[in-house]
Chains A and B, each alone.
Chain A
Amino acid sequence: MRLTQGAFSFLPDLTDQQITRQVQYCIDNGWAVNIEFTDDPHPRNSYWELWGQPMFDVRDAAGVMFELNECRKAHKGQHYIRVSAFDSTHTWESLRLSFITDRPADEPGFTLERQEVEGRSIRYTTRAYAANRPEGARY
């Protein structure tokens, strides 16, 4: 099951050129671009591991692509990698854009668990199949 989180996730994967253009758009708006990765893609897991530091002073997308390629060297195929853009202007101070750039080849998806509780009520919870295995060995 294809993971759909963040922007563009219903589109085919972005090419490097498209990623570069998106990153340049973020930089031109004055947002700091971050590269994050995780192997626990649960929708509620909003804090992914940060690759390096937020790139506040990079002026050109090539710098971000350089780091993205470094991150791919380390994690491609085993982790999800996403690019996010943080707007530090007062009153925003939050993410403005986030999209997945790389995903594992095989995405087993999520299971929906129904828990029967008092009075025939049901509690739902989702769990990634991959998360059954230990961290680092999931994909």
Chain B
Amino acid sequence: MDAVTDAPSADARPFENVVRPPDAIDLRAEFVESGLAAVLEELDTDLVGLGPVKRRLREIGALLLVDRARARFGLQAVSPTLHMSFTGNPGTGKTTVALRMAQILHRLGYVRKGHLVTVTRDDLVGQYIGHTAPKTKDVLKRAMGGVLFIDEAYYLYRPENERDYGQEAIEILLQVMENQRDDLVVILAGYSDRMERFFTANPGFRSRVAHHIDFPDYSGEELEAIGGRILGGMNYTLSPDAEEAFHRYVDLRMKQPHFANGRSVRNALDRARLRQANRLFNGDRPVTVRDLTTIEAEDILSSRVFSGGIDSYPPLKP
């Protein structure tokens, strides 16, 4: 059987050297022109907190811009490894940032399509011998030209079962991550401690992932700001009393087990909306627009969090 030449050869970009390089490149102008400025600004306004993450994205953006400028001067510009790992507690915005990451890389021309394919272990690992490789390859094919986001990546590796097919998926992933760096960017996400163990067990992954970004937990104020945004997006407002109640709610909820940052806030507000709807429905007067958009203190205060329980609607049986 003949050997197959895989990588496209040197004739891949025949027209690149025709344009004479400019004398100087204004990186600021380039920054605005590439649309990167707009994406990063959106990121700043849309996402509350996450200081270190935003700083890291800025750095990566700057690196890519400088690389592009270098390429225009004909300097050696090896396409950088952009595989990333996002670690952090649940609900800290890893998926949201991954989606933004896809946009950023697309604007900068590092991925061609800029779509995000989100997968978990189920989508990569098969159930019987010979099932895993086609499944993993299928996912990789779908993600090419975009970003592959592997949520809870540490589940891929199950040391307790030596016949687990996860290892096969990992090997294929590593191979494609190395050989087709131009075609797709892989983002691994998961909780910090478990990802650390995953990387220790698979050193190949750690060396192929250039950017490790840690997502910090939100502070109380940030969570309240997130809540405000979620409500604003759905045309709800908190009454002043409710705002005070919500402040206390967040403080209490943060100390409880199973706290999932932004996700907990969203769930709490969803439950408050349910209680509000119930209250309006049981009230015996016609409702106004103001009634429909305002969440009152009682909608939040009836949460079981205030009596030391876990929040749920309808209330759990004691």
Chain A positions near chain B (C-beta within 8 angstroms)? 15-17, 20, 52, 55, 57-64, 66-67, 69, 72-74, 76-78
Interchain CA distance A72-B113 in the complex, whole Å? 26
Write out the residue numbers on chain B whose beta carbons fall within 8 Å of the beta carbon of A72.
4
8 contacts between A and B (CB under 8 A): A17-B11, A59-B144, A60-B112, A60-B113, A60-B144, A62-B112, A66-B176, A66-B183
Given known A15-B11, A17-B8, A66-B137, contact A59–B1 (CB-CB < 8 A): no
Q: How many A-B residue pairs have CB under 8 A?
A: 59
Is the beta-carbon distance between B4 and A76 smaller than 8 angstroms?
yes
Write out the residue numbers on chain A whose beta carbons fall within 8 Å of the beta carbon of B16.
none
Is the beta-carbon distance between A62 and B184 smaller than 8 angstroms?
yes
- Dominant SS at the A interface? helix
B142 interfacial by beta-carbon distance below 8 Å: yes
Is the beta-carbon distance between A17 and B12 smaller than 8 angstroms?
yes
Interchain CA distance A89-B266 in the complex, whole Å? 40
- Interface 0/1 of B33-76, CB less than 8 Å to A: 00000000000000000000000000000000000000000000
Interchain CA distance A40-B300 in the complex, whole Å? 73
B2 interfacial by beta-carbon distance below 8 Å: yes
Is the beta-carbon distance between B137 and A60 smaller than 8 angstroms?
no
Write out the residue numbers on chain A whose beta carbons fall within 8 Å of the beta carbon of B2.
76-77
Interchain CA distance A16-B144 in the complex, whole Å? 17
Interchain CA distance A17-B134 in the complex, whole Å? 25
Is the beta-carbon distance between B144 and A58 smaller than 8 angstroms?
yes
Interchain CA distance A15-B14 in the complex, whole Å? 13
- Not counting A55-B141, A63-B141, a sample of 18 additional A-B residue pairs whose C-beta atoms are within 8 angstroms of each other reads A16-B8, A20-B8, A59-B113, A59-B115, A59-B144, A59-B145, A59-B146, A60-B113, A60-B144, A61-B145, A62-B184, A69-B4, A72-B4, A73-B4, A74-B1, A76-B4, A77-B1, A78-B1
Interchain CA distance A17-B15 in the complex, whole Å? 13
Given known A73-B1, A73-B4, A76-B2, contact A62–B11 (CB-CB < 8 A): no
Q: Which partner residue on chain B sits nearest A63 by CB separation?
A: B141
Say how far B12's CB is from chain A's closest CB, in angstroms: 6
B23 interfacial by beta-carbon distance below 8 Å: no
Is the beta-carbon distance between A63 and B142 smaller than 8 angstroms?
yes
